[in-house]
Structure 1
């Protein structure tokens, strides 16, 4: 199986992208893992496949609108991805698959609208961030209270000391939580420092991936969990993102870049 692919990233949260308008290539978990393998494949945090809604169960009424089929690096299905959404829109624009400065696409978390800004960034609606219960997060021997936040996908937001953030080992240790049933399908876990009013810094461990250099939904979740203002600038290892919580939906703004295109062969 051969596909024409692109490689892109949003604040170094990177993705393999390809268009599949006729829904011919519903990838297996092994094929996704192969594409995302940084030694044996192309290398990415996830795969973004563009499918026409008419061919996606439950979205048929949206007809020719594009559906963002997002898969984590381990092949598991994810509901949403904020950085991925911006890169997905940039890819559709550059491929000539959408027109205009404002485009709405379908995701497993619902319809999301993006705007291409004059400075090259993309602003995307993220739905409403919903605050849930308090949980306890463990990483190695350390524990923190955390706030559960739903941004179309599940998050646990922990406030950590500024001098501890960079020292956290997110490579060898995966966070866990209590009660274990709080996130039956797993969760992204954000470790956050409040640097100043309206300014946060964080690291994230994404389910199905591990530590990534950025997480768009995680940035929105962190701002919502620590909210004392409507607008936030959030620093992540891969760059800087902006969040606006002042409207009916959260809006995430940041860069989205397609860096390469090519052809690859997928294993059977």
Structure 2
């Protein structure tokens, strides 16, 4: 994974403080740290705390404690997304100004009802690589006057990327350089598979997709090392990088840690956290062996 000789390679670990870190997070953090050290590069820690309803200072403190226990050191100060909302808004506004983003008003329940009605007629609804139904076209097809009227009425809304219009502004093929545990080499991006992705919501000033590309660019990240579950999402990220004129890092999507049933570990499922393992007397060296390092 080569980088420009004029710049040290920059790696980052970017957890969300919405639950305790588990073995999957440990693998990602250690790989980023060790690959940065091997490349004589920099290792950054970024706290992705846009979701203010679920992220807490206690979980953030837990991240610092877990990484210190693993023997990892990172540059300071740590970038916290909640301190940079204006930068995400600026990127979003540039897309809105170019008519590449539109306000969407359907609730999740309304989308489910729309999709169910379509599929009741035995017409399968298209889904993204994660299996979620693509957003219907009704809001994208509204007139400018209709959108303005609905916005001025105070209706809650999200901003979505107009994927078809966005792709018409990009000449040639979109791809990224991949060195991970699955496909490698130049990977052809397929942003259209995701439909009109969310860029911001009424309760969150930026989506993961938008904030991650802005953060990586502003922090000079050259190597993105993360789990294979985000492999396909990279198609959206390289599109946003192209639209916003941001540099594209190299990508390395690593294997996932799974349970005995083959399910990916997740905070939402209450999988055993690093702090709990530490309390049971497991050492950092034991944990490295447990995750195959």
TM over 0.5: no
Give the number of the structure whose alpha-carbon radius of gyration is greater.
2
Query: Normalising by structure 1, what TM-score?
Result: 0.25
Query: Normalising by structure 2, what TM-score?
Result: 0.23
